[in-house]
Structure 1
Amino acid sequence: MRIRKYFRGSGRVLAFVFIASVIWLLFDMAALRISINDVNTQLLKEVIVKQREAVKQQATKRTNVANRGGFKQVQKVDLDLETEVKISDEGDTGNDDVIRKRTRVNPAVKDIKFNEHIQSKETGQLRLWDGSKALAKYFEREIGKSEAAKPQASTSTTAPRKVAAKVTVRKKNDNIDQRVKQAEATVPVSEARKNASENAPRKVPVELPNLTKAPPSGVEEKRHLTQEPKIKLEHSVQKANESVVKKAYKTQNKVANNVQPEKQHAPSKEKAEAVHTVKPKKNNLESNVIVEGKQKTATNQSDPNGVKHQAHAMEKPVVPQHVVNKPNDTVTRKPGVHKVMLLDVTQKPRDPAAVGQFGLAAVVPRDKEGEMRSRWNEGHFNVYLSEQIPLDRAIPDTRPQACSENLVHDDLPTTSVIFCFVDEVWSTLLRSVHSVLNRSPPHLLKEIILVDDFSTKEYLKDNLDVYMSQFPKVRIVRLKERQGLIRARLAGAAVATGEVLTFLDSHIECNVGWLEPLLERVYMDRRKVACPVIEVISDKDMSYVLVDNFQRGIFKWPLVFGWSTLSEEVIKRDKMKDSDPIRCPVMAGGLFSIDRKYFYELGTYDPGLEVWGGENMEISFKIWMCGGEIEIIPCSRVGHIFRSENPYKFPKDRQRTVERNLARVAEVWLDEYKDLFYGHGYHHLLDKGAVDIGNLTEQIWLREKLQCKSFRWYLENVYPDMNAPLVRAEGLIFNLGTRKCLTLEKGVISFDVCDLNKQSQHFNHTWMRNLQQRGSCIGIQGPREGVAIQPCDNASPRLRWLHKSLILSSSLVEHFIAEHLAQRKCLAADPYGKGLHLNECDPASQFQKWHFTNYYTP
């Protein structure tokens, strides 16, 4: 009754129905929302699982790529990672002891952090840090703890504590596919390097590529895959440097115990037991090259006791390096720095009383003076004293004081040091090699390549092979016929594997800290070519002599190399210190470091140059005019034996060979200034019938391809203090007899009142010694030797007139003397002003005396 009474009336019924409908709708919407959430959650889980699997696969790929490429890090992955490397000084028990990567990724995986290979400071082992912990936290936060706890979620979204990634280490042998087994936690670096070192052959047969073209990319990649892992440390650098010296000294002293010091110099007559010859494919110069191989250990045949030597101590890498991202357009690297390593390793404790020790002058005993004189021509220096001096003698540190405090980068490029020699004196060649081995950081010295340019001395054959076999980093390349310095360097560069090529002469001594400053400049700009300060080793007493600071290489006409000291004005203006690099217009040519790839981009040396001469001019002009720079680095010092004459034999006439080379350089690089070269005594080279300078098409095309600047730009921007006028004299030509000026109108010569505004009175006396107005020249014509106007031809001697020349007597300097005539005849004005005649020279005749308005040379 109460219920019926309650629902009495239609209004109450409708109200109840409405309220019930609303309540039912709310329950329905709640159920629908729960269903939608379940679907969204499942979809989100599936998306995240896929992303996680993709990330894990990408990380595994990066790990394998890094191991195959010497542990180099990949610049970018699918998540658009951008890395910044940090190293903590803490222990190896937490996040602070690893190399961490701060990442910037897409919003879907915002907080994921990936960690690459690390090295524990305490264990020296390589670890693959597990970044899955951060990944799991992200999943839990996005999906929810309740969903993460479900069975299907735990199997698909929960990350393990360790990521099992394969770390593959390639051995340094021909079987590249042989790999180390999978390692999950750690891979010992020292053991991997040991295996690589033990399996590495001492010498690898090389098929030389075209010497003027860069090696193919496939060769580059293969070499890259066989490099040892590099590890970069950005903390405790100085301590690591000290450990290098200590370990190197310790190992070297072990080797020294098996060496007879007093017998090191003596070349052996026995044949090497472990030398094999590799005959490369014939291709131009390639058919004339032999690469000698060495075993890891060999008997030192120059030791009468036949003691076997172990591998040189410098071969073992002591300081590991972490590999950082290489520079490109989007990533900037922030490597560590350290002071220059002052290595000076010796095979035995030095004898302070040894002849020439510490770079002091040596004295020839009176009873040995005859032997000294008789042996002088072997190298055109004191060969006798050179053989008395220790192969690893100490020399004074001549660097400016600031150099010892200078910092260089930890990840400098490696270098191949190339020595080219022919019939070099045994002791000087060995001393050159020892100075590089003993004073170069081992991790930067990739190899030493000795290029034998068909030497005839017996001691430079099997004996040299045996002696150098004790040094694993030394390779010998032998040319089958005499090629000369230029092509020998190209042969050495063709087989080099270092990132930087360092060319040295074979009678030098590198000073402490010589290498890193050179590599630092190339590291900072790959287009910089770095040269050491070349100091003097006396050819008479073998003393090491310091040279003046602020010197640079220059040239004078006709392309003659020389040294010049910067003026005090320039030093003060630029606020230069004695340790600052010096811009060098022309390198000396024998000693420099250049990026290997850049060397090939420049086209190397002109392969048309023969034997020796002019190559330093050619490559210097090419570097400067095609976008590079040459610098002398005062913190790098190398002593060099300067000799009074060139001891090398030339297959052809020496003078003609050098002149021909210089003519090629002038034709390709000097533009209109080539007249200055020919005009300074090389007119005869213009006679193509007498001198063939070869085809220049390829070199001219190369200059156009490289978009090189003009020689005028070079003079204005690189060598502005060079005096290089395009003509010897110009303006009006005034005749003292007629008191008028020479005039040329419509091909007719006459005299008129001097007027600077008349172009018909303007003449040039060119470097070809032509009296020229535009394209017309005054010359001698016909058997009667009449004076006439002819088209200009630089090769024609009948158009040349000596005037104001140093070869003339003082009484004839104002005359125009016909150059090609055996009997001297001079240009004379007609007394009546009707033309020119050729008469016998008369110092007193006023009609034979001429003056230009402007003279540019004495």
Structure 2
Amino acid sequence: MTRACINKILLTSKKTEKAEENIGLMQKAKAKMDQKKNERVRDPLEPGIQESFIKYKVAVDRTVKSVKKDVLKGKEVVVNIKDKRINAVDKGKPYALKETVLPRAKLKRQPGVPTNSTDVRNTGVHKVLALDMTEAPRDADAIGQFGKAAMVPSDKEQEVRNRWNEGHFNVYLSDQIPVDRAIPDTRPHTCSESVVHDDLPTTSVIFCFVDEVWSTLLRSVHSVLNRSPPHLLKEIILVDDFSSKEYLKNPLDVYMSQFPKVRIVRLKERQGLIRARLAGAAIAKGDVLTFLDSHIECNVGWLEPLLERVYIDRRKVACPVIDVISDKDMSYALVDNFQRGVFKWPLVFWWRRLSEEVIKKNHMKASDPIRCPIMAGGLFSIDKKYFYELGSYDPGLDVWGGENMEISFKIWMCGGEIEIIPCSRVGHIFRGANPYKFPKDRQKTVERNLARVAEVWLDEYKDLFYGHGYYHLLDRSVIDIGNLTDQIELRKKLKCKSFKWYLDNVYPDMVAPLVKAEGLVFNRGVRKCLALQKGSLAFEICDLSKLNQHFNYTWMRHVRQKDVCLTAQDKGSSLAMQPCDNTKPQLRWLHKVSNSALVEHLVTELASQRLCLEAGALGDRMQLKRCEPTSPYQKWQFTHYRAE
């Protein structure tokens, strides 16, 4: 026997001894976990515990068998008993089961029922479960795996362009990416060490969709199933808002039939996102409703931090941080932890980062919950009973748009809170265009919804909404925003606070002056100020102490004193003061219009030809004249300008 053969035998013997040692360690680890399982206190009130353990046991048994095969094949096996992790390393391809932690089964209160701080302190806690379980091992070389950017082959670029409008993102790449791909853990590093209570409420996850892309819908569902603690996930409800795509009919039923927790609800006609969500909520069995868009990917540990905030206070509405999935290359990228949802006029949602001053002043950490004035609306968890106590969504809102404003104002002004939870991360495909079809005009549908919100919730600040745009809404004969009686009565019943309270306490950095300008109205030509004398207009020597010289220029473009407004008469060039009425165009005046040669003029919107308010040279009269950009008799100045 040669020396080389002897060395080969010795090396094989060492590998066999090492393999047997690793298998022994594996069996000890499994036995230790089984022993803990038998010691657990099981409560029949929590059926998800048994289901969770069965899935866990199957996963461990499957992993042990796989490891034995790997050992026999000479692959390296790593067993870490301390961390309860079982990983097989084969060219960088990790097994699906990364971490197994059994949930505890202590129920010291009825989930969803209000608790006080003592109740919360007396229950057990555990570290957030960073579950990521798949049916089969992932292929580390798969396109888009680990949230990496995917590349389009040059011969497929035309197909990408042809299919773009199917979802207004790169549908071709989405279809190439595994529906259960791995994504990077974007949570702040302290989140993995945070603890939550053992008896968190269960949740129903509700997806509403219409003609959603097959691969993104499946990826959304798989991300919830793979990364949610089974005992907390009561069900997944898919609400099909009358889709026309054939693959979303029987093929979807067949595919989802393999998941007992997935239910599909099909609406008989197009209802829109708002009513589709209400349909899903109506049949939900979980204690908490979790609404998600149908083109998302939930990250590890996403669910428990949301449910924890609802557990602490059932009036808290918890939103995950929304990471960005690129619409072009499907890459997954984290976003800033200190972003919050706000609005700008006229009720347009946008993101604004907390200032460094606020962060330092409040000693905020990256993992701290953030008070959010306006939720984005697509992803949030809310106690089911509280959702209905608030009156759910306004059923008068059509299709899509404005529902996030309505429910955000309702939550804050009626005693609740909205928080963004940085330890909960969900990726979302942000698209450049809205692919939804509207039964009626899209813009008018959204504006109509926002007008309903403004009329019910903004109080005297609704003029800011109208004043920033949406002129045609002022004419009720053009768009009927519907009956608001029920919503107004609901606000009274809930004893909700004023919108001014909301601005002062929830969104104090919002600039919301009730008027655009105020004070004396000075004419540059006659060097005197406008005054109201016994119901008629006149000129007087300017005097701030005289109240009859004080006017407001409102967001409705009115020149107003108390309840009367400057009015251009229907015929001729005469003027008068009449009772203010937001619907009458002859009461509206343009003033301080940017990029205009008439920036200091008061321009009437009544005539087909624009006319300007002009003072007589002797200061004895006022009239409407053809606009002259340089005429000092047509230039007017208010004492204070609150907004441009």
Range into which the TM-score falls when normalised by the shorter chain: 0.7 to 0.9
- Tell me the residue number matched to 2:119: 332
TM-score, structure 2 as length reference? 0.86
Relative to structure 1, the CA distance from residue 658 to residue 724 in structure 2 (aligned partners, 3 Å threshold; closer, same or farther) is same
Tell me if the contact between 2:40 and 2:104 (Cα under 8 Å) persists in the aligned partners: no
Q: Distance in 1 between matches of 2:65 and 2:460?
A: 60
Relative to structure 1, the CA distance from residue 396 to residue 714 in structure 2 (aligned partners, 3 Å threshold; closer, same or farther) is same
- Tell me the residue number matched to 1:322: 106
Tell me if the contact between 1:825 and 1:838 (Cα under 8 Å) persists in the aligned partners: yes
Shift of 1:337: 0.8
TM-score, structure 1 as length reference? 0.65
Shift of 1:785: 3.3
Structure 1 segment 554-569 matched on structure 2, within 5 A: 554-569=342-357
Which amino acid counterpart does residue 464 of structure 1 have in structure 2?
A: L
- Tell me the residue number matched to 1:820: 606
Structure 1 segment 98-497 matched on structure 2, within 5 A: 123=38, 228-229=46-47, 247=57, 249-250=59-60, 319=103, 321-326=105-110, 332=119, 334-497=122-285
Tell me if the contact between 1:346 and 1:392 (Cα under 8 Å) persists in the aligned partners: yes
- Tell me the residue number matched to 1:515: 303
Q: Distance in 2 between matches of 1:125 and 1:575?
A: 39
- Tell me the residue number matched to 1:143: none
- Tell me the residue number matched to 1:636: 424
Shift of 1:331: 7.3
Instruction: Tell me if 1:712 matches 2:500.
Output: yes
- Tell me the residue number matched to 2:20: none
Relative to structure 1, the CA distance from residue 508 to residue 699 in structure 2 (aligned partners, 3 Å threshold; closer, same or farther) is same
- Tell me the residue number matched to 1:832: 618
Tell me if the contact between 1:578 and 1:634 (Cα under 8 Å) persists in the aligned partners: yes
Tell me if the contact between 1:255 and 1:347 (Cα under 8 Å) persists in the aligned partners: no
Which amino acid counterpart does residue 846 of structure 1 have in structure 2?
A: P
Tell me if the contact between 1:253 and 1:347 (Cα under 8 Å) persists in the aligned partners: no
Instruction: Tell me if 1:850 matches 2:600.
Output: no
Secondary structure of the structure 2 residue equivalent to 1:412: coil
Shift of 1:347: 1.8
1:577 to 357, 365, 371: 365
Provide Cα deviations, 1:729-765, integer angstroms capped at 9, x if missing partner: 0000000000010111111111111000000000000
- Tell me the residue number matched to 2:445: 657
Which amino acid counterpart does residue 247 of structure 1 have in structure 2?
A: K
Q: Distance in 1 between matches of 2:293 and 2:65?
A: 27
Q: Distance in 2 between matches of 1:744 and 1:640?
A: 57
2:627 to 828, 837, 841: 841
Instruction: Tell me if 1:586 matches 2:365.
Output: no
Which amino acid counterpart does residue 414 of structure 2 have in structure 1?
A: C
Which amino acid counterpart does residue 119 of structure 2 have in structure 1?
A: T
Relative to structure 1, the CA distance from residue 515 to residue 125 in structure 2 (aligned partners, 3 Å threshold; closer, same or farther) is closer
Q: Distance in 2 between matches of 1:684 and 1:411?
A: 52
Q: Distance in 2 between matches of 1:353 and 1:477?
A: 36
Q: Distance in 1 between matches of 2:552 and 2:61?
A: 71
Q: Distance in 1 between matches of 2:123 and 2:54?
A: 20
- Tell me the residue number matched to 2:471: 683
Provide Cα deviations, 1:795-827, integer angstroms capped at 9, x if missing partner: 111011100022x51x21000011232212110
Provide Cα deviations, 1:390-417, integer angstroms capped at 9, x if missing partner: 0110000011011111111111100000
- Tell me the residue number matched to 1:695: 483
Structure 1 segment 15-164 matched on structure 2, within 5 A: 123=38
Provide Cα deviations, 1:54-93, integer angstroms capped at 9, x if missing partner: xxxxxxxxxxxxxxxxxxxxxxxxxxxxxxxxxxxxxxxx
Instruction: Tell me if 1:607 matches 2:395.
Output: yes
Relative to structure 1, the CA distance from residue 346 to residue 122 in structure 2 (aligned partners, 3 Å threshold; closer, same or farther) is closer
- Which is bigger in relative contact order (C-alpha 8 A, separation at least 6)? 2
Q: Distance in 2 between matches of 1:616 and 1:331?
A: 33
| Structure of greater Rg | 1
Structure 1 segment 750-829 matched on structure 2, within 5 A: 750-806=538-594, 808-809=595-596, 811-829=597-615
Shift of 1:325: 3.8
Once the two structures are aligned, what percentage of the paired residues are identical?
Answer: 71
Provide Cα deviations, 1:646-692, integer angstroms capped at 9, x if missing partner: 00101111111101000000000000000000111123212111110
Secondary structure of the structure 2 residue equivalent to 1:332: helix
Q: Distance in 1 between matches of 2:37 and 2:267?
A: 49
Q: Distance in 1 between matches of 2:499 and 2:452?
A: 15
Shift of 1:328: 5.6
Please, which runs of 5 or more residues in structure 2 have no aligned partner?
Answer: 1-34, 67-96
Shift of 1:245: 8.9
Secondary structure of the structure 1 residue equivalent to 2:192: helix
- Tell me the residue number matched to 2:412: 624
Tell me if the contact between 1:777 and 1:792 (Cα under 8 Å) persists in the aligned partners: yes
Runs of 4+ in structure 1 displaced over 2 angstroms? 120-126, 227-232, 243-256, 316-320, 325-333
2:338 to 534, 544, 550: 550
Secondary structure of the structure 2 residue equivalent to 1:812: coil
Q: Distance in 2 between matches of 1:438 and 1:527?
A: 28
Shift of 1:329: 7.1
Tell me if the contact between 2:145 and 2:178 (Cα under 8 Å) persists in the aligned partners: yes
Moved more, 364-373 or 504-513: 364-373
1:730 to 484, 509, 518: 518
Which amino acid counterpart does residue 249 of structure 1 have in structure 2?
A: A
Shift of 1:229: 4.9
Q: Distance in 2 between matches of 1:255 and 1:477?
A: 39
Q: Report the RMSD for the aligned CA atoms in angstroms.
A: 2.4
Shift of 1:584: 0.3
Relative to structure 1, the CA distance from residue 254 to residue 492 in structure 2 (aligned partners, 3 Å threshold; closer, same or farther) is farther
Shift of 1:370: 1.1
Shift of 1:253: 7.1
Which amino acid counterpart does residue 450 of structure 2 have in structure 1?
A: L
Provide Cα deviations, 1:622-661, integer angstroms capped at 9, x if missing partner: 0000000000000000000000000010111111110100
Q: Distance in 2 between matches of 1:732 and 1:580?
A: 48
Tell me if the contact between 1:421 and 1:452 (Cα under 8 Å) persists in the aligned partners: yes
Q: Distance in 1 between matches of 2:230 and 2:132?
A: 12
Shift of 1:498: 0.3
Relative to structure 1, the CA distance from residue 329 to residue 526 in structure 2 (aligned partners, 3 Å threshold; closer, same or farther) is closer
Shift of 1:317: 12
Provide Cα deviations, 1:749-782, integer angstroms capped at 9, x if missing partner: 1111100000000000000000000111111113
- Tell me the residue number matched to 1:499: 287
Relative to structure 1, the CA distance from residue 231 to residue 589 in structure 2 (aligned partners, 3 Å threshold; closer, same or farther) is closer
Tell me if the contact between 1:230 and 1:321 (Cα under 8 Å) persists in the aligned partners: no
Q: Distance in 1 between matches of 2:608 and 2:58?
A: 71
Provide Cα deviations, 1:183-228, integer angstroms capped at 9, x if missing partner: xxxxxx69xx8xxxxxxxxxxxxxxxxxxxxxxxxxxxxxxxxx65
Shift of 1:343: 0.3
Tell me if the contact between 2:115 and 2:312 (Cα under 8 Å) persists in the aligned partners: no
Q: Distance in 1 between matches of 2:37 and 2:288?
A: 33
Q: Distance in 2 between matches of 1:252 and 1:656?
A: 56
Instruction: Tell me if 1:741 matches 2:529.
Output: yes
Q: Distance in 2 between matches of 1:817 and 1:497?
A: 59
Please, which runs of 5 or more residues in structure 1 have no aligned partner?
Answer: 1-119, 127-188, 194-226, 233-240, 257-312
Which amino acid counterpart does residue 321 of structure 1 have in structure 2?
A: A
How many residue pairs align between the two structures? 574
Tell me if the contact between 2:601 and 2:635 (Cα under 8 Å) persists in the aligned partners: yes
